[in-house]
Structure 1
Amino acid sequence: MILGELEKQVLNYLWSAGEADAKQVHAAFYAERSRSLNTIQSTLDRLYKKQLLSRSKQGHAFIYRTRIDREDLIAQLIRDITSDLIRQDSESLIAAFVSLSADLGEDELNRLEAMILDHRRKGREQP
């Protein structure tokens, strides 16, 4: 799945806002980006069709909410990008993550280590 820049910005807005209709999203973006309401409505509809948003009708407007949390979407995007490249060589993916971790500070590395340990524990607990 590929996300455009505006789609990513709209998702970020909805993760922080919780829910919004097209006019609310437009108002949040208009001051700094001067996007048209039609552009925002099209973006929301694309995200809905990609199954990243849910929507419910309230009056004449749809209220949009994210269907996936930020971490799960990032994981899905990483899988989509890397799946074809690492089928034969998972070492490359691990090496890439190690390379990226060079930019992390000590606190972030400690959090990463704790998350890995937690993930291992959960994996052992499952039958």
Structure 2
Amino acid sequence: MQLGELEKQVLQYLWNASEADAKQVHAVLGQSRGNSLNTIQSTLDRLFKKGLLSRTKQGHAYCYRAKVDREALIATLITNVTSDFVEDGEHSLIAAFSSASANLDDAQLDKLEQLIEQQRKLRKGN
């Protein structure tokens, strides 16, 4: 799954705002970017069709909410990108994360360690 720049900005907005209709998104993002209301509506519809947004009808308009949280989307995107390059049982993905972690500070590394431990506990059923 690929996301365009406007789609990413709309998701960021909805993660922060919880929910909005096309006019609200347009007021915040569309006008400053020079996008029409129609472009914003099309973007929201694409995100809905990709399964990233949910929507409910309110009067004549839809009200949109993010269907996935930021972390779940990032995990999905990483999996999509790496699945073409990483074979089952291969350690290159782990090596890539290790390499990327070189840019993390001590607090971020501590948080990563904590998250890994949580995953271990979930896997064991604790």
**Residue in structure 2 matched with residue 87 of structure 1 by the alignment:** 87
List gaps (5 residues or longer) in structure 1. Answer: none
* Secondary structure of 2:54 counterpart: strand
- Is the contact made by 2:30 and 2:40 (CA closer than 8 Å) also made in structure 1? no
What is the aligned-residue RMSD (CA, Å)? 1.2
Distance of 1:27 and 1:88 partners within structure 2: 46
1:3-47 superposed Cα distances (whole Å, 9 cap, x missing partner): 111101100000000000000000011343121111100100000
Task: Please report the TM-score for the alignment, with normalisation by the length of structure 1.
Answer: 0.94
**Residue in structure 2 matched with residue 74 of structure 1 by the alignment:** 74
**Residue in structure 1 matched with residue 11 of structure 2 by the alignment:** 11
* Secondary structure of 1:55 counterpart: strand
**Residue in structure 2 matched with residue 113 of structure 1 by the alignment:** 113
Distance of 1:62 and 1:94 partners within structure 2: 41
**Residue in structure 2 matched with residue 20 of structure 1 by the alignment:** 20
1:29-86 superposed Cα distances (whole Å, 9 cap, x missing partner): 1343121111100100000110111111100100001111111110011111111210
Task: Please report the TM-score for the alignment, with normalisation by the length of structure 2.
Answer: 0.95
Distance of 2:104 and 2:70 partners within structure 1: 19
List gaps (5 residues or longer) in structure 2. Answer: none
- Indicate the percent of aligned positions where both proteins have the same amino acid: 60
**Residue in structure 1 matched with residue 42 of structure 2 by the alignment:** 42
